[in-house]
Structure 1
Amino acid sequence: MHATTIGVDLAKQVFAIHGVDQHGKTVLRKTLRRAQMVEFFTRIAPCTVAMEACGTAHYWARTLYDLGHTVRLIAPQFVKPYVQGNKHDAADAAAICEAASRPAMRFVAVKTAQSQAVLALHRVRDGFIKSRTATANQLRGLLAEFGLSIAQGLGKLIQEVKRLIADMENGLPAIMRDLAQRLLSHLLEVDRQVQEIDLQVRQLCRQSEVCRRLEQVPGIGPLTASALEATVGDNIASFKNGRQLAAFLGLVPKQHSSGGKQRLQSISKRGDGYLRRLLVHGARAVLHHTTRKPEMTDCWLRQVAVRRNMNIACVAQANKTARIVWAMLVHGSEFRADLPTASGRQVSTV
């Protein structure tokens, strides 16, 4: 009897395979080398193949889908409860197979190669920014040890370091002067890489009709729009409503309820932290712009900031932005600032 569901424990070279039939009986246990994967799945009849949504999962999902199989990706935290006994590759493959058979299991959508490439661009940019910040802080701290204090800001730092290196009368040792030049050169190179990636992201947004529409939403720029399209653009239909998208991004409260009493805590911070950070920073810009306008006194966002605090208002605006994004992507519509909400109030025109 052939397997109807196969669980695959992904690895670099050695893959554990566990298959069950339609009755849940184990009919396949196997270990494959990387070079044997495509050959093995080409020979067997089309079935459901489940894997953890980890490194290389989307690549193998696309490969197996092209071979005619139905692919299911499962978040690792949903697989762990099904591991029986000690942890090893075979037990992980069996747990993946078991988790995939659960009727209430939620699956991760398979990303296209283009979406993965765009997200890789974002990750590399984020890494460059962290490196740039670390280098600037190191350069500022080392020079402070020689009594040379520099004002905040990347532009002021670069300008001041150039002046300090050229000044031969400031008592800076030759070794430190050479080291400062090295750090400055590295800082300028990383900053140039960030600017080039920013330009590339803007060019990608201009070529995308979805990004063009998303950029109409207050608090969403080219970076956020391209990240949203690459992350949820292909699978937006899997979210039943805007709240599910906000929950996917970790912008809704955690619950610790019992005995019929509902207890809501801080936001869950689940899902993609990078995308959530972009939405919250965008919401912070919207809030800052709103508080500077006297005519926006009655704005919903401003009232939340006065009633609670600025950070809560930013998260609330980010949650609202996520819901607007869901509606625009599902219905293929443009952003309308004058569209009334469920409470009858108009959306802020900031």
Structure 2
Amino acid sequence: MNYKLISIDLAKTVFQVAAFNGDNSIAFNRKVSRPALLDTLRQCSPTMVVMESCYSANYWGRAIQQLGHDVHLIPTRMVKAMLVGNKNDANDAVAIGETAGRPKVSLLRPKTVEQQDIQSLLRIRERLVDNRTANCNQLRGFLAEYGVIVAKTRRQLMMAIPLILENADNALSTTARSFIQRLYEFQLVLDEQIEQVVLEIQSLAKAMPIYPLLLTLPGVGPVVAATILASINDISDFKNGRQLAAWLGLTPSQYSSGNTNRLGKITKRGNQTLRRLLIHGARTVLAWCDKKDDPLSLWLQQLKQRSHICKVTVALANKLARMVWAVMSRQQAFDIQKVCKVSALAA
């Protein structure tokens, strides 16, 4: 059976599958059980299959790709805007198909197994880091309740705790020393687990040829490079660097009406984790730019003179996103001499 498009509303056990003919009419729109989904699609000639980028979408995307179909994922917020009628599976499946036909909708490829592995480990690392931060804060709070104040950094806290526990002159009770010791040991365990996860992430990322090229970018370290690989399914989905920056929410929002054209704050759409890491990387580059004379540093020095440091940071994060696109699309290492033209520096 030949169809122009097939849309699937994913679920745990029962899926809704809608097929569209060449004239955009609906050929069928029916429920399909989980075991029967692949059999249903196997009976259809290879065509475009679209799903929301949600729970289990990457798994089903890879499975359907093996049947010869061209699979794309659509952001959920775009599908919601196309929903007509009440919220149910049948209307959702139709909305997904109609959204895919819109000219400016961003369609993404499913993640590979390697990308899924890296992303899962990154999520585990993020949770462990949150737990470590919470444990540090709890340690500081408990110590402060007994009149013991420790310096701000985590390293200084970990160095101070053994000395605090050995100091018999402070106000810590026997019980307090016991649970402070347990929290300290838990902190060491978290540090070790985070280090192990980072090593696993690096091991998986190193198997990808683009990984060492990403490390040549300023402000991009092993974790940021791995996050880029896990977040960007296929760089060919973006025609240029600006599209990637816009996908990450690093471009200004726009309000235009008639002769009025206003640019506001950044949109903050897309991958929040990658956007945050690029901004952190931009802060690192800005911290050292005054001591360098390369084109990028000279551009940043001029930008800092006429704009607030926060605006400069986001502007650099935007430029980093464009650099990421250039490195990944051209399969070339970053060349800092090409990042800013001389004419731009003289402006």
TM-score by shorter chain over 0.5: yes
Percent identity of paired positions between Structure 1 and Structure 2: 37
Question: Do the aligned residues in 2 keep the contact of 1:284 with 1:314 (CA within 8 Å)?
Answer: yes
Partner of 1:229: helix, strand, or coil? helix
Shift of the 321–208 alpha-carbon distance from structure 1 to 2, 3 Å rule, reads same
Shift of the 225–168 alpha-carbon distance from structure 1 to 2, 3 Å rule, reads same
C-alpha separation in 2, matches of 1:272 and 1:60: 21
Partner of 1:263: helix, strand, or coil? strand
Superposed, which structure 2 residues align to 1:58-207 within 5 Å? 58-207=58-207
Partner of 2:171: helix, strand, or coil? coil
Residue 222 of structure 1 aligns with which residue?
A: 222
| 1:35 equivalent in alignment to 2:19 | no
| 1:51 equivalent in alignment to 2:43 | no
How far 1:321 moved relative to its partner?
1.7
Question: Do the aligned residues in 2 keep the contact of 1:3 with 1:28 (CA within 8 Å)?
Answer: no
TM-score (norm 1): 0.90
Q: Which amino acid is 2:320 matched to?
A: T
How far 1:140 moved relative to its partner?
0.7
Root-mean-square deviation (CA), in Å? 2.4
How far 1:60 moved relative to its partner?
0.4
Residue 248 of structure 1 aligns with which residue?
A: 247
| 1:306 equivalent in alignment to 2:305 | yes
Residue 238 of structure 1 aligns with which residue?
A: 237
Partner of 2:284: helix, strand, or coil? helix
C-alpha separation in 2, matches of 1:150 and 1:200: 33
Partner of 2:93: helix, strand, or coil? helix
- After superposition, give the CA deviation of every residue in 1:40-77 in whole Å (9 maximum; x if it has no partner): 22233333322101111111011011112222211111
- After superposition, give the CA deviation of every residue in 1:74-94 in whole Å (9 maximum; x if it has no partner): 111111122122212222112
Question: Do the aligned residues in 2 keep the contact of 1:17 with 1:29 (CA within 8 Å)?
Answer: yes
Question: Do the aligned residues in 1 keep the contact of 2:17 with 2:31 (CA within 8 Å)?
Answer: yes
Residue 317 of structure 1 aligns with which residue?
A: 316
Mark the runs of 5 or more structure 1 residues left unpaired by the alignment: none
Residue 333 of structure 2 aligns with which residue?
A: 334
Partner of 1:109: helix, strand, or coil? coil
C-alpha separation in 1, matches of 2:218 and 2:293: 18
C-alpha separation in 1, matches of 2:173 and 2:188: 22
Question: Do the aligned residues in 2 keep the contact of 1:2 with 1:27 (CA within 8 Å)?
Answer: no
Shift of the 108–293 alpha-carbon distance from structure 1 to 2, 3 Å rule, reads closer
C-alpha separation in 2, matches of 1:337 and 1:70: 37
C-alpha separation in 1, matches of 2:297 and 2:74: 45
Question: Do the aligned residues in 2 keep the contact of 1:296 with 1:302 (CA within 8 Å)?
Answer: no
Shift of the 108–205 alpha-carbon distance from structure 1 to 2, 3 Å rule, reads closer
Question: Do the aligned residues in 2 keep the contact of 1:52 with 1:75 (CA within 8 Å)?
Answer: yes
- After superposition, give the CA deviation of every residue in 1:230-277 in whole Å (9 maximum; x if it has no partner): 323x52222222111111121111111211321001111111111111
Moved more, 55-64 or 20-29: 20-29
How far 1:340 moved relative to its partner?
6.4
Question: Do the aligned residues in 2 keep the contact of 1:249 with 1:269 (CA within 8 Å)?
Answer: yes
Shift of the 336–100 alpha-carbon distance from structure 1 to 2, 3 Å rule, reads closer
Q: Which amino acid is 2:303 matched to?
A: V
Shift of the 46–17 alpha-carbon distance from structure 1 to 2, 3 Å rule, reads same
Residue 275 of structure 2 aligns with which residue?
A: 276
Question: Do the aligned residues in 1 keep the contact of 2:19 with 2:27 (CA within 8 Å)?
Answer: yes
Shift of the 54–127 alpha-carbon distance from structure 1 to 2, 3 Å rule, reads same
Shift of the 298–290 alpha-carbon distance from structure 1 to 2, 3 Å rule, reads closer
Question: Do the aligned residues in 2 keep the contact of 1:290 with 1:296 (CA within 8 Å)?
Answer: no
| 1:19 equivalent in alignment to 2:34 | no
- After superposition, give the CA deviation of every residue in 1:193-216 in whole Å (9 maximum; x if it has no partner): 112222333444544432212212
Moved more, 14-23 or 255-264: 14-23
- After superposition, give the CA deviation of every residue in 1:119-150 in whole Å (9 maximum; x if it has no partner): 22222111111111011001111221121111
Shift of the 56–30 alpha-carbon distance from structure 1 to 2, 3 Å rule, reads same
Moved more, 198-207 or 34-43: 198-207
How far 1:344 moved relative to its partner?
3.2
Matched length: 345
C-alpha separation in 1, matches of 2:2 and 2:321: 44
C-alpha separation in 1, matches of 2:279 and 2:263: 20
TM-score (norm 2): 0.91
Question: Do the aligned residues in 1 keep the contact of 2:250 with 2:268 (CA within 8 Å)?
Answer: yes
Shift of the 329–124 alpha-carbon distance from structure 1 to 2, 3 Å rule, reads same
Moved more, 130-139 or 92-101: 92-101
